[in-house]
Amino acid sequence: MFHHSLIPARWTRRNFLKFLLAGSALAASSSCATPRRRESGFQTQVFIGQENSYEGNLRRVIERGFQELGVSASEIHGKKILLKPNLVETHTASAHINTHPLVIRAAIEAFLGLGARQVVVGEGPGHRRDALHILEESGLGSVLYEDRISFINLNEQMGDTVRNQGQWTDLSTLTFPAVFREIDWIVSMPKLKTHHWAGVTLSMKNLFGVLPGLYYGWPKNVLHHQGIHESILDIYATLKPHFAIVDGIVGMEGDGPIMGDPKSVGVIVMGRSFPAVDATCARLMGIDPYQVPYLNTSEDWLGPISEAHIEQRGESIRACRQNFALLDHFPAQQGLRWNG
């Protein structure tokens, strides 16, 4: 992270954001190179924390999740953390489109509270090329400016090319931002949403935004041509991110990821295994994860999605479940309803 003394006291927020976008030689992990073992019968934990308002004590919810999931100061101390939110569009009247800035702030504070050496935020928006505009209009820019947190425009980063560990697409390699070499933890922070092509978009689908638009186009056209479900599997299997924090306080139902309607659920969902987190989120939405192709394929390979192999911490699924509207004219949303 840059030193605070390098920031002139009279800089405006916009100049500060331009500074962030101009020179991010920051962060991330060399974990892209080691194959993931198959996870047959793997047991994991997922935490559901309840909070009905963005004005609530979100940091406390995330810190409780850390405790329940065994994320300790000894594990985080001295590490560089990259938070990857879901920033899609800039409609200020539609806050349910993007990960809420106050959830991101709470995560920043929680990681710093465990002794993280540096926390940065990185995103490669798929729909809009102007990351500065998205930062300003989403409200995240103000949070980063106030907290002096660096932002990395992942779309503009030069890439490191590694072997595709998933092999579900025809891509023999995947190119991730070269700055990932210095990051210790990659944290996906999606919004709880249905999706007109993928069925649901959660912590695994959110990883589309780590691939640079310089290589994959807008809106990541290469991945769409290869297949959304297949690309999700390949990215997760190759990148092997570390943690997920899902903003489900207000989600989006129906025609997500942009045109859907807000849906209040009042939860933050957290975990180390993205398939397990996303399966739990799907059930919270009244959706059967076995009917979502990339989640079904994840089981016994990338992580569990069966309730029998997910130890639920915090609140129960059934206490917080809110059936999301599903639109039959989208094939990806047909037959998704969970009857559990």
Task: Locate 337 and state its tokens.
Answer: 């309803």
- Give the pLDDT of residue 75: 98
Report yes or no on 322 lying in a domain: yes
The DSSP secondary-structure symbol of 305 reads -
Q: Global pTM?
A: 0.89
Q: How far apart are CA 108 and CA 111, in angstroms?
A: 5
Q: At what angle do helices 131-138 and 13-22 cross, to 10 degrees?
A: 140
- Give the pLDDT of residue 126: 72
- Give the pLDDT of residue 92: 58
Contacting residues for 58 by C-beta, under 8 A, at least 6 apart: 51, 102, 103, 105, 106, 268
pLDDT in tens, the chain (340 residues): 333 333 344 445 445 444 444 434 333 333 443 334 444 457 999 999 999 999 999 999 999 999 999 999 999 999 999 999 999 876 656 778 999 999 999 999 999 999 999 999 999 987 666 778 888 888 899 999 999 999 999 999 999 999 999 999 999 999 999 999 999 999 999 999 999 999 999 999 999 999 999 999 988 899 999 999 999 999 999 999 999 999 999 999 999 999 999 999 999 999 999 999 999 999 999 999 999 999 999 997 999 999 999 999 999 999 999 999 999 999 999 999 999 8
Count of structural domains, the chain = 1
Task: Locate 310 and state its tokens.
Answer: 């997910």
Range of the domain at 254: 44-333
- Give the pLDDT of residue 128: 66
- Is residue 312 within 8 A of residue 281, CB to CB? The reply is no
Report yes or no on 27 lying in a domain: no
Report yes or no on 270 lying in a domain: yes
The DSSP secondary-structure symbol of 118 reads E
3-state SS, 254-273, equals CCCCCCCEEEEEEEEEEECC
Q: How far apart are CA 26 and CA 24, in angstroms?
A: 5
Residue type, 58: L
Of 4, 51, 11, 35, nearest to 320 by C-alpha is 51
CATH value at residue 213: 3.40.50.11440
Report yes or no on 315 lying in a domain: yes
| Measured CA distances, 6 to 1, 12, 139, 148 (Å) | 11, 14, 24, 11
> What is the length of the chain?
340
- Give the pLDDT of residue 90: 67
Report yes or no on 53 lying in a domain: yes
Residue type, 97: I
- Is residue 175 within 8 A of residue 220, CB to CB? The reply is no
Task: Locate 307 and state its tokens.
Answer: 């309730």
Q: How far apart are CA 119 and CA 123, in angstroms?
A: 14
